[in-house]
Amino acid sequence: MFTEERLEQILEMLNKNGRVKVKELSEFFNVSESMIRKDLQRLESEQLLQRTYGGAILKRKFSESSPISTRLKEHADTKELIAAKAFGLISDGDVVFLESSSINYYLAKLIADSTKKITLITNMSIIPSLFNDNETVKLICIGGIYDRKAGGVLGSEVIKGISKYIFNKGFVGSAGIDLTTNSAYTVTPEDGNVKELVISNSKEAFLLVEKEKFDVDSTYRFAALQEFNAIITDSDISEGIREKMQQLSVKLI
C-alpha cells in the first residue's frame, strides 16, 4: 500500500471513530509503530488531526454564526446540487417546511421557478419575493423576530406558529455534524428549537448539508442523525461516512 493510500484510510478511520491508536494502526496496516507515528506527524502538520499520547484525535473546526448573505456565497455550486436532489423529493400536494438555511434558499428558488402545486411554509424571511410570479405555490410565512444572521425569524412566536402545522416533508440545515456522537448541531438555541420542532412535526425529515460539515462542531445539538429519513449531501462523500450512515441505518442521498 502506498503512503498516500494509508494516510487517506487513517483520516477515514478518524472521521468514523473520532480517534485512532498507534498500536492498532500498526497492526491494521502491518507496518511499524514508528512509521505510523510519522504518518500522524505528517497529518498533524497539514492541520488534519491532533496527536495525543498513543494516537490521535480528529482536529475539528468550530462553526460560529455568520450572516446568511455570507453563507449563500460559500460552496454555492455544491449547495445548488444538494438543493436539486431535495427538489426531486417534493411532489404535488405536499405540505413542505423550509427552515432558515442557505441550501434551503436555493431549494426555494427551484420551487419558485417550477409548476409544483404545494403548500410551502417557512420562517425564512428572504424567500417570499422569489414567489412574486409563482401561481402554483401556496406560501405561508411564519412571523416572529427577524434574525439577520439566520436570514429568518426565530423566537417563541415562531414556535407557536410552526406547532400548528404538520408537514409531509421538512428540510433543515446544520452548522456541523459529529459522527462520534451521531449529532447534528447549530449555532444558537433559538435556531435549534425551530429545527427540533420542524423535525418533530414532519412525516419525513431531511437534513441538507455539505460534506465539509461532517468535520465541524458547533454549540447546540438539535437532533440525532437517526431522526432523519435521509441526509442529502455531496455525491463524493467519503466511504468512511457512508459506512457510518449504514451502521445507523440513515439513508444518504
Could you tell me the CATH number of the domain that includes residue 26? 1.10.10.10
pLDDT of 62 above 90: no
Domain of residue 127, CATH code = 3.40.50.1360
Residue type, 52: T
| 95 and 194 assigned to the same domain | yes
| 77 and 39 assigned to the same domain | no
What confidence score (pLDDT) does residue 179 get?
82
Q: Which domain holds residue 209?
A: 68-252
pLDDT single digits (tens) 94-146: 999 999 999 999 999 999 999 999 999 999 999 999 999 999 999 999 999 99
Closest CA to 203 of 230, 173, 232, 167: 167
| 157 and 181 assigned to the same domain | yes
| 54 and 100 assigned to the same domain | no
| 30 and 104 assigned to the same domain | no
| 37 and 73 assigned to the same domain | no
Q: Report pTM.
A: 0.78
| 47 and 94 assigned to the same domain | no
| 19 and 104 assigned to the same domain | no
Q: Report which secondary-structure segment, H or E, holds 98.
A: strand 95-98
Q: How many domains does the chain have?
A: 2
Across-strand partners of 205?
A: 170
What confidence score (pLDDT) does residue 61 get?
67
| 233 and 180 assigned to the same domain | yes
| 97 and 47 assigned to the same domain | no
Write down which residue in 20, 42, 59 finishes a domain.
Answer: 59
* Lowest mean pLDDT across 70-84, 91-105, 187-201, 232-246: 232-246
pLDDT of 215 above 80: no
Q: What whole-number distance in Å separates Cα of residue 24 and Cα of residue 88?
A: 43
What confidence score (pLDDT) does residue 72 get?
87
| 206 and 89 assigned to the same domain | yes
pLDDT single digits (tens) 157-170: 999 999 999 999 99
| 14 and 100 assigned to the same domain | no
CA 239-242-247 angle, to 5 degrees, is 125
How many CA atoms lie within 13 Å of 78's alpha carbon, on the beta-carbon side?
16
